[in-house]
């Protein structure tokens, strides 16, 4: 299938699809829907010549008007007649064939195939598409997350999914999502958003999914999936750190110091649909927990959003490390306590603040 598209420049979409259908015709349990699914995935990575400003419709009007003068025609395919009509519209017979129905999707020729790096990657993308189509029937989806909380929530928020969050224990959260089948209005749009969320979720680590699906026969089915089931997203995995400041601090602090264990994005704070994942959690051997948020950006809008978020969650014990340049740009102060740093956050200053915070 990849070879057909790689060598198919100038071939119409309909001819490419027929070639794919011929390839899969001998495969067992391969109905037209499966053929159409592969064709769509290949088309999604292709560029086709399209009609510009209705030129094809204008060309047909001129060609048919010229052909009407010779009515009845035994066959428009007659080479001499076609050449004569093509010359009247200043085209070659080949270009006439190519442009006459350029506004019909099936007749658009392939101009470029961006492709997939391998047959395995095409098959992987197909499997993900089948998963997305399956979950389009989901009424309810529950995700148990033990890693990459921030990325999973970011994908859910970007997709505008309705969600609830519940903490089950240290480093364990349950994220409940309303599925496309539970939405009364704009189901197709919500289903598309849900499909985009699944692409992001598959790029994350440490999660299990439980879903309830409506079947086409009117019943329900249970669906289970986890991050280790072999699906691969076309999106890149989330970066372990958002900035070099966070990465350098984690390396300098180490896994633990003075009884404090350093954990990356291990707690989700939520208030309704608003969620906040602090950069680090410092958990003492006695069970005490203090959150650490590093503010390294300096745009005024970002600082204002951060100030409102910290105010919203002021009931939690949050230690804020702020770059000195941000303190100069503040229009309103962030909530204390603060640690100011220049280029890198010193772990010794954090430990000093932790002692003071405990006291």
Strands of the chain (E only): list them. 46-48, 110-113, 138-145, 163-169, 172-178, 207-214, 220-226, 256-257, 260-264, 269-271, 274-276, 280-284, 289-295, 318-323, 338-341
Give me the phi and psi of 268, to 5 degrees please: -110, 125
State how far the Cα of 276 lies from the Cα of 316, in Å rounded to an integer.
11
pLDDT at 150: 81
Closest CA to 175 of 141, 143, 210: 143
**What mean pLDDT do residues 289-296 have?**
85
Give me the phi and psi of 203, to 5 degrees please: -85, -10
Domain range list for the chain: 1-115, 122-226, 244-358
In angstroms, what CA-CA distances link 124 with 46, 141, 199? 18, 23, 12
State pLDDT tens for residues 311-344: 888 888 888 888 876 665 555 555 556 788 888 8
Domain 122-226 has CATH 3.30.70: yes
User: Are the beta carbons of 13 and 43 closer than 8 angstroms?
Assistant: yes
pLDDT at 309: 84
Q: How confident is the model at residue 212 (pLDDT cuts 50, 70, 90)?
A: very high
Structure tokens, 234: 């076309």
User: Are the beta carbons of 293 and 318 closer than 8 angstroms?
Assistant: yes
pLDDT at 298: 60
**In the chain, what is the straight-line distance between the N-terminal and C-terminal CA atoms, in Å?**
68
> Does residue 239 register a pLDDT over 90?
no
Q: How confident is the model at residue 143 (pLDDT cuts 50, 70, 90)?
A: very high
In the block, residue with structure tokens 């600082």: 303
Count of CB atoms situated within 10 Å of the CB of 228? 10
Count of CB atoms situated within 10 Å of the CB of 14? 13
Any residues with CB less than 8 A from the CB of 343 and at least 6 apart, and which?
Answer: 245
Count of CB atoms situated within 10 Å of the CB of 260? 20
In the block, residue with structure tokens 């499997």: 127
pLDDT at 77: 54
pTM, rounded to two decimals = 0.69
Question: Domain 244-358 class?
Answer: alpha beta
Range in 36-50, 197-211, 259-273 the model is least confident about: 259-273
């Amino acid at each position: 299938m990849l070879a057909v598209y790689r060598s198919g420049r100038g071939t119409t979409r309909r001819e490419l699809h027929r070639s794919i259908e011929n390839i899969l015709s001998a495969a067992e349990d391969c109905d037209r829907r499966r053929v159409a699914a592969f064709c769509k995935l290949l088309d999604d990575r292709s560029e086709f010549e399209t009609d510009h400003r209705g030129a094809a419709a204008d060309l047909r009007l001129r060609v048919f008007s010229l052909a009407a003068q010779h009515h009845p025609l035994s066959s428009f395919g007659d080479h001499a007649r076609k050449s004569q009509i093509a010359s009247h519209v200043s085209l070659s017979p080949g270009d006439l064939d190519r442009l006459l129905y350029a506004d019909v999707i099936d007749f658009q020729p392939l101009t470029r195939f961006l492709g997939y790096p391998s047959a395995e990657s095409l098959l992987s993308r197909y499997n993900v598409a089948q998963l997305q189509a399956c979950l389009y029937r989901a009424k309810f989806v529950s995700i148990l997350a033990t890693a990459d909380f921030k990325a999973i929530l970011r994908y859910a928020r970007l997709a505008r999914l309705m969600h609830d969050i519940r903490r089950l224990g240290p480093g364990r959260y349950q994220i409940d999502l309303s599925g496309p089948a539970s939405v009364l209005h704009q189901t197709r749009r919500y289903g598309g958003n849900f499909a985009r969320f699944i692409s992001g979720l598959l790029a994350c680590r440490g999660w299990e999914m439980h879903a309830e699906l409506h079947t086409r026969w009117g019943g329900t089915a249970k669906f289970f999936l986890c991050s280790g089931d072999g699906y691969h997203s076309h999106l890149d995995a989330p970066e372990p750190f958002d900035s070099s400041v966070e990465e350098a601090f984690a390396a300098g602090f180490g896994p633990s110091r003075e009884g404090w264990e350093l954990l990356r994005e291990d707690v989700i704070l939520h208030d309704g649909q608003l969620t906040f994942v602090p950069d680090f959690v410092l958990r003492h051997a006695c069970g005490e927990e203090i959150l650490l948020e590093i503010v390294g950006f300096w745009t005024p809008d970002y600082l204002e959003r951060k100030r409102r978020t910290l105010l919203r969650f002021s009931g939690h014990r949050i230690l804020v490390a702020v770059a000195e340049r941000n303190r100069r740009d503040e229009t309103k102060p962030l909530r204390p306590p603060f640690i100011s740093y220049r280029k890198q956050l010193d772990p010794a200053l954090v430990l000093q603040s932790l002692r003071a915070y405990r006291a």
